Structure 1
Amino acid sequence: MTIVFNKEEGRFMSQPAVTVLSGFWPDITFAAARALLAADPSLLLVRHDLAGVRDGVVHRVVRTGSGVLEDERVDLVHGCVSCTLREDVLPTLVRLARAHPDRDLLLVLPEAVEPQSLAAACAYCLVDGAPVTAAVRFDSYVTVVDAARVLDGLSCSEELAHRGLHAADDDRRAVADVIARQIEYADTVVRWGQSTEDDQCLAVLLDRMAPWAAHLAVGGSIVDGTDLAERLRHTGRHRPDTPAVLARGIEGYAVGVHEPAADSGVVSAVFRARRPFHAVRLHRALGRITAGVLRSRGHLWLATEPETVVAWESSGAGLSVGTLGPWLAALPDARWDEASDLRKLAAAMEWDPYYGDRHSHLVFIGLDLEAAELHRLLSACLLTDAELSAGEEHWRQWANPFDGVALGA
């Protein structure tokens, strides 16, 4: 709990802290939640069962370590995860904070929900006309992974729909996508149990996937809830102004660490370039570029899309591209105010007189990757000097296998 001064009401008010707990394996996530409840009987745990969300029905449970306070069915106007966050999850947090201002909250997300979607909802949704953060303080986003299953999960190309976990009828996410994004967004990653493979390899892999997070291991059949609570709660690790993972590069943050020498078999290779990719050559090389890669992310510059920052991410065998909006160089000066100060500063520091802020910034993470060969493959997909000199108008006429996809169409 934090005491803050409310300017509108002219008084100090209690502001409960929220710890957000996510993870793809409910038994492991709930084991962590139970340990935290045992350590603090006053903690309020909130969780939602989304099994019926596509039919507009959600099951909400609020409990403490000593018993259930609420067990209710919630009927939604529209059946989707974002509607659930907007219509019930955030209002529930605000309502509980007002009713129990001296009790902190533990929000346990369903297994297929990515924590970044909650953070995005907090950024634009109002509850009773006020931001959610006027009532609660989001202290930390914690992701719990099952040490025995996470490596298989990160390689799994099976879609959530095949397991009945899809958030909407058009949800095409794969298991690996969700697990990777849960790990990456966390400010704290908990490795629960023992790996069936190499525990040190897993520890290094998780650190490479989320180098900005605190990492801790919980093993054994008996968990010290008090010790776990001291390491997970009231850490103040969450930074709401940190950009979304795929947008980190254009905001001046690192998208990953460059550790091309294998550490316990794990390689993390960063690739940067100040000339664009040739769309056809890149498309032809995708299979070789992503072979053996567990996770890659970042953004790139396609010659055939000179206005668009193209988002790139792969998980396991899947690859997707999208848009992060326009390059600053493609915007008139009057629209530069739409960009954050950090992005403008990052662009100014590396501004090119011809191409402005356009560049590519990617990271590739996997086991026993050949970093030098990967760099060679990517470099071969960039424009040659002759192609570069042909100019932007000429590039636009080339075939683009990413057309429509890169533009989010």
Structure 2
Amino acid sequence: MLREVVLVAGLGDHDVGEEIWRAWQGSILVRYDLRDLAQRVVRRWVDGELTAVELAHGCVSCTLGLDLVPLLERLGGRVVVHLDPRLEPEAVCFAVCETDVRVKAVVTVVDRATWLADATGNDLLAERGLSAAEDDDRTVAQIAVGPVEFADCLVLTGGQVDPVLDAVLDRLNPRAARRDRRGLDAAALLAAIPPDARRGRFDDGFGTLLNGRPPLEPSHGVAVVRFAAGRPFHPMRLHDALDVLLDGVVRARGRLWVVSQPHRALWLESAGGGLTVGSLGSWLTAVSDWAQAPPACLAGGSASPDRRPGERGQEVVVITLTAPPEAIIAALSEALVTDEELELAGELEFVDPFIESDDEMEEL
């Protein structure tokens, strides 16, 4: 049986999922509420019937693995899932990628009145009463920005048209179809998904850092900053320089080369005031046999035309709102090793705050 799912995400307007369900003939509507996940209880509605599901562990991954994915496989056919904001659509798509469930679309609701403030703020989910567990240290910005960047369709609600918000969305996700909530035609929305939509596919860290083909020229104070360099970072200077990405920045993504870890690529990702750095794997140049290189390294793109994908180097893409692009470039440039440090790299001992980020992302 063909299994298709439409995921509806975002921090507002729970009616959008219901409208898509009505427009998508023969579909089943599922809604999740994770407010009591810390008590190991998940509430879900399937076509209006409420079930309280008790989990062995109160965490998002358990919700996916023990409830949502088995539910999608059991229901079959067409399913619209309106996600609790604590459940990010990218994590759901990752969980179903090895099943026979096909993602038809990810639809994210954007509230014009609040999204920019959420996307650039420092609030933790716990401060908004949105944390999924006691150890959930995600920020509101992460669950605001991520679902928009990952969406195939955006539905804008509330407030007036905001050219600054539009400029941000143009750069964060230029591929997504965009519609106003007023007079929304859900069937037309799904039909407007462009041919190059991701439909649940997630990015490879060694591929291109640009999402689609965003406009690169500044507009209404919003800019795309691209930083590339062919020499490594000094670990402590890099750690200090990353503060420049924590204020006035909507999104940053990048691959980092640190002199104290010559064989390992680090992955940087930020949303608003939350930033993480973790391990991406080995640089392609650290693999002795090209045949052993991950396929994505060979197929991915690069922002630097003079380097092959997966080759050592710095590549960071930043979407700024108020942060001056020249300040970002200057801070990252000053964090690179000097000629003398590079020459003595094999003899010097560097204090490296990123050395512990082998297995999981480290919050900065």
Is TM more than 0.5 here?
yes
Matches within 5 A, 1:34-183: 34-40=18-24, 42-63=26-47, 68=48, 70-97=49-76, 101=77, 104-124=78-98, 131=99, 133=100, 136-183=101-148
The amino acid of 1:93's aligned partner reads L
| Contact 1:44-1:62 at 8 Å conserved across structures | yes
Question: What are the within-5 Å matches in structure 2 for residues 13-52 of structure 1?
Answer: 14-25=1-12, 28=13, 30-40=14-24, 42-52=26-36
* Superposition pairs of residues 363-378 of structure 1, within 5 angstroms: 363-378=317-332
Alignment of 1:188-199 (within 5 A): 188-195=153-160, 199=162
Deviations 1:329-350 (A, max 9, x none): 233438825x12x312449985
Instruction: State the distance in 2 between where 1:350 and 1:156 align.
Output: 36
Q: What is the letter of the counterpart of residue 367 of structure 1?
A: L
Bigger drift between 16-25 and 282-291 goes to 282-291
SS at match of 2:350: coil
Larger radius of gyration: 1
Alpha-carbon shift at residue 61 of structure 1 (Å): 0.6
Does the 8 A contact of 1:190 with 1:217 survive in 2?
A: yes
**Structure with higher helix content:** 1
CA contact (8 A) 2:103 2:200 kept: no
Residue 258 of structure 1, CA deviation: 7.4
| Aligned amino acid, residue 123 of structure 1 | C
CA distance in 2, matches of 1:343, 1:243: 15
The one of 260, 267, 281 equivalent to 1:304 is: 260
* Match of residue 279 from structure 1: 235
Question: When the two structures are aligned, how many residues end up with a matched partner?
Answer: 358
The answer on 1:401 being equivalent to 2:349 is no
* 8 Å Cα contact 1:257/1:268 also seen in 2: no
- Aligned counterparts of 2:301 and 2:32: Cα–Cα separation in 1: 41
Query: TM-score scaled to structure 2, two decimals?
Result: 0.87
Contact 2:32–2:42, Cα closer than 8 Å, also in 1:
yes
The yes-or-no answer on 1:265 pairing with 2:221 is yes
Separation in 1, partners of 2:19, 2:356? 47
Cα pair 2:266 2:278 within 8 Å, conserved: yes
- In the TM superposition, residue 52 of structure 1 has moved relative to its aligned partner by 2.1
SS in 2 for 1:399: coil
Distance 1:351 1:20 in 2: 37
Tell me the CA shift for residue 179 of structure 1. Answer: 1.0
- Say which SS state the counterpart of residue 8 (structure 2) adopts: strand
Equivalent-residue separation in structure 1 for 2:8 and 2:211 (angstroms):
23
Q: Give secondary structure in 1 for the equivalent of 2:218.
A: strand
* TM-aligned CA deviation for residue 260 of structure 1: 5.8
CA distance in 1: counterparts of 2:223 and 2:117, whole angstroms: 18
Percent of matched pairs sharing the same residue: 33
In structure 2, give the amino acid aligned to 1:209.
L
CA contact (8 A) 1:299 1:360 kept: yes
Report the secondary structure of 1:262's partner residue. coil
Q: How does 1:327-406 map to 2 (within 5 A)?
A: 327-333=283-289, 336=292, 339-340=294-295, 342-346=296-300, 357-391=311-345, 393-394=346-347, 397-405=349-357
Task: Give the letter for the 2:311 counterpart.
Answer: D
The Cα of 1:300 is off from its aligned counterpart by 0.9
Shift of residue 232 of structure 1?
2.1
Answer whether contact 2:120 2:248 (CA < 8 A) is retained: no
TM superposition score normalised by structure 1: 0.78
Report how far residue 277 of structure 1 moved: 1.0
Asked if structure 1 preserves the Cα contact closer than 8 Å seen for 2:251 and 2:319, the reply is: yes
Is residue 266–residue 279 contact of structure 2 (8 Å, CA) maintained in 1? Answer: yes
Are 1:18 and 1:107, in contact at CA under 8 Å, matched by a contact in 2?
yes
* Map of 2:189 onto structure 1: 231
Q: 1:293 aligns with which of 236, 249, 256?
A: 249
Whether 1:202 and 2:165 are equivalent positions in the alignment is yes
Structure 2 counterpart SS, 1:19: strand
CA distance in 2, matches of 1:360, 1:107: 38
- 1:325 is matched with which residue? 281
Q: Is the 8 A contact 1:193 1:218 kept in 2?
A: no
Aligned counterparts of 2:263 and 2:336: Cα–Cα separation in 1: 17
Paired AA for residue 115 in structure 1: P
1:199-220 alpha-carbon deviations (Å, 9 max, x no partner):
1111110121123x31313144
Q: Is 1:218 the counterpart of 2:180 in the alignment?
A: yes
Q: 1:43 to 1:120 in 2, by over 3 A?
A: same
Alpha-carbon separation, structure 1, partners of 2:353 and 2:109: 38
Measure how far apart 1:158 and its partner are. 1.5
Q: Distance in 1 between matches of 2:123 and 2:283?
A: 34
Distance 1:40 1:119, change over 3 A: closer
Instruction: Measure, in 2, the Cα distance between the counterparts of 1:351 and 1:367.
Output: 29
1:261 Cα deviation from its structure 2 partner = 4.1
CA contact (8 A) 1:294 1:366 kept: yes
